Structure 1
Amino acid sequence: MKNKIVWKLSIYFITSLLVFAFIISGIFIYLFRINTIELHKNELEQRATKISKTLSSITSDSIRKNQGSGYGAYLKFLNDIAMSDVWIVDENLNIITAGNDQVSQYSFSDLPSNAEEIVKEVFSGKTEFSESFSNILDTPTLTVGTPIKDDSGNIFGVVLLHSPVNGIDLAISKGIVILVFSIGIALMIAILLSIGFSFTFTKPLKSLNLTAIKLTEGDYTVKTNVKQSDEIGTLAMNMDILAQRLNESSMESEKLEQLRRDFIANISHELRTPVTVIRGSLEALNDGIITKEAQVLEYYSQMLAESKHLQRLIGDLLDLSRLQNTDFQLEMTQISICEVLSDVIRSAKSLAKDKQIEFVVNNNFKDCALLGDYGRLRQMILIIVDNAIKFSPQNGHIYINVSQDKNLILSIRDEGRGINNDDLPYVFDRFYKTKSIENKNGTGLGLAIAKQIAIRHNATIKLVNEIGVGCEFVFIFHDDL
């Protein structure tokens, strides 16, 4: 009884089969009874027709005068020949004979019921039937009337055959016994099959239920393992997709939680260092520990540098927070990426002056039209160019290329030593910095900000890296902004 749906389905099947069996039994009994009466009617009609044809061969005068040895003998054994009650009547319902060896007069009440209607119809030239129920015999009866014609074809009498429909109840009883026996065997087989089919039907439902239970318990790696091309199969497929999505969401949630913890740890570390340095320097100055003018100036210079770093860190955090907020709207206008690029190069030349780095620009386009935020695109490109300057060797080159096929493509390549393969998956993460002398003053937020700006401009970033040769950032601006 644990699998209630199996028993419910079995009960539904069995109930349907029983109702079907009762309906079929009723129809069978009705049709069997009708068929039996029809067969008896045909047989009775054949007897009456033969009797009327025999009597029609005798002239009407001979019948009325009861003459002729053949006729008398025939009437004497008429009941035995017909195997039924026989009356021969004229148009006025006068009984000519009752089927014995003498002519007797019977009253009207001795005739079968509906005899008057039958005789009228027969005298119009038809063979007529009448069905009734005998209270004496307690059984259905049939009466058939056929015309008796003379040599001229005139009807002068009617043969009435009256007979009970013998054997109907017995035949029906035997039929019912056979029917019940057959239906009983069929029901037993059907019940066993319905139970088997019910278990087969509910097996995938049981698997779906177990899967749902595991999902509620937080196990999102579970699968239903149900493969069917029906509604249950569709439900199982959707549940597997749900489990997969929940698993991906769970992994993403864990990843975001880890990023949150890392973010808090990183920002705490990034803030702690400049704050500690500034506080230590102020305490030393305030307590009078440092009195020499050169040392005082050095401490002031150090506090100023840390303050700038702290200001840059807070600014980068605010920029990243704004860019990641979907409600933050950029100032989108029709601009030229070439103008943005020229502006960036003018600003970056002062940064590259100490290393004597040369910019090599390959741009054959005068008007690189683009819908975007001028300031944010300038910030994005300047972040990449600043990193390229930072990691380029002395007297190196930075190659900037603008091209266009289906989409506008901007690439920036340096001649540095490249990025370690272990660091590649994390270069766009917040606060992630490669361990190098060039990157000691960085906040670890630049590339994360550049990525967010690219996303907001429907651009994708490709990183082409080769150890010892250099690193190239490729921006692909898609038209469907």
Structure 2
Amino acid sequence: MLKNKLVYKLTAGYVILVLISMLIAGIFSINLFRNYTFTSRQSNMLERARDLAETAEPFLTGKTEMKEYDKFLILLDTYANSRVQVTDKSGKVVAISRTVDPDKDMTYEAMDSVLVEKVLQGNETVQESYSNYYSETMYGVGVPVYDISKNIIGTVSLYTPLTGITSTIDKAFLFLIIAIFISVALTGVLSMFYSALITKPLSLIKQAAIEMTRGNYNIRTNIVQKDEVGQLGSSIDLLASKLGYTIEQLFQESGKLKNLIASISEGILAFDVNFTLLNYNEAVKKLLGYGRNFNVAKCAMKDMEEAGLLYDFKTVIETGVSRIVNCELNIRKLRFVLSPVKNSKKEIIGVVALIHDVSESERLEQIRKEFLANVSHELRTPLTLIQGSIEALAEGVVIKEGDIKKYHDRILQETRGLGRLVNDLTDLSKLESGKMNLIIDDIDIVSLITDVSRNLQTIADKKMIVIETEILQGIPVVIGDYDRIKQILVIFLDNAIKFSPENTKIRISLEIEDFVYIKITDNGIGIPKEDIPFIWERFYKVDKSRQNSDIGIGLGLSIAKHLIQIHNGVISVDSDINKGTTFEIGLPYAK
């Protein structure tokens, strides 16, 4: 149990660390001290040996009489700390500081003959060896004795017992052992104290973590330390606070998600693998045409079974691959996107169906198809005429000058028509992509309307239609692109002429409010109320039974609306069947 306590692990770690550190430092210190002791003793002994060598020179050369020998022994006694041995050049001991046995005389053999032999070769020698003379290991140094001619005439050797040196080292080692024990004991006590300071806040952190696993995010450690443990405690407190806030936010987001699913326009149906309805949103009722009190689970299963969707549900469950199915339910064209629902083990546990109402998109697709057909027709007819005319001219079928001119005029007319078609398509593409560039200037709108009316009156005369203008005085200049505003007026006047009966009038009037309003009113066939929201879409035609080139391909109003919008203007329409239509164009003016 104790080995699992952090306080004991920390204490043991500190003690082991201190013990290892002390041992390494102690061993290093003892070795350093030992080397210093031996080096110091060696240097001291060599210095004394050299001094003795100078003193022994007269004695060995016979310059000093034997009666001086006693004085020399007295001199040797001053070196009692080191036992002295003097030999002649043959290695014979001629003087020694003291003997182990008083009965031994100075003719005794050398204490260390090997050391003496090395010294007699002229080398100052240091050597550690066992001495039979003193019956113990001795540390000895030897130096040669020279005469005046620098010839070796003997040796002086100093010996000291190793026990004298090692006793000092042993005492130092004993002090080291005592210091280690004291340090380890002190480290253990202090480690227990400081480890407790660390583990106590850690215990508080542990309790806080346990409380958080139980869902209590209001728990706090209240640790006031400023060190890393205190920072950890503060982090745990911050984590608890953030988790509490985040979980609260998750609950709120979960509620928002439920509300979002409930309010989404697409229908959502969720089934398990047994085709039991688990969940749905309110949009399902609207898309499937159910009333408020309908049993959605029962009705949805019945409708989907009749539409053959159960097979697709089974396929999704078996294969795990999403499917897109289009079908018609309760007069609505719906698209079901069926996707498998998997758990964490990647096992399919159900199917979710996302229901889209594609009635509008299919209507637009139909418009696109009609546009392609119209464009093909608009291109095919003039190209056929151009090709036929060119072939007739090339083959020489037409030879009269008047007929040739008619053929050339026809080719030119059809080519211009193709150019207008291409320009309309190009303009619409630029407008929808936002790449139409305008040259903004002040425009005299009264003069522009007069010019456009005069130019189109020629076309109107063919149907005996009169274009009238009612223009007030003081109409300000309009801000915009001259060519594009002219294009807008041409589109609306041209449409009014096309859809107006013969012998009628087209009226143009101007008013000033927040915009300069241009009203173009005809007495044509009118536009059905249900078609008005769609007349601004490209390719849309109100009268689909009329497919000739005079009606066009349905681009004009779409281009006009885009041009008005990029001028920051407004457009509205009011129409009655068989009575006529009024388009009101509002353009900004210089105030």
What TM-score results when the alignment is normalised by the length of structure 1?
A: 0.48
Structure with bigger gyration radius:
2
Higher RCO (Cα < 8 Å, 6 or more apart): 1
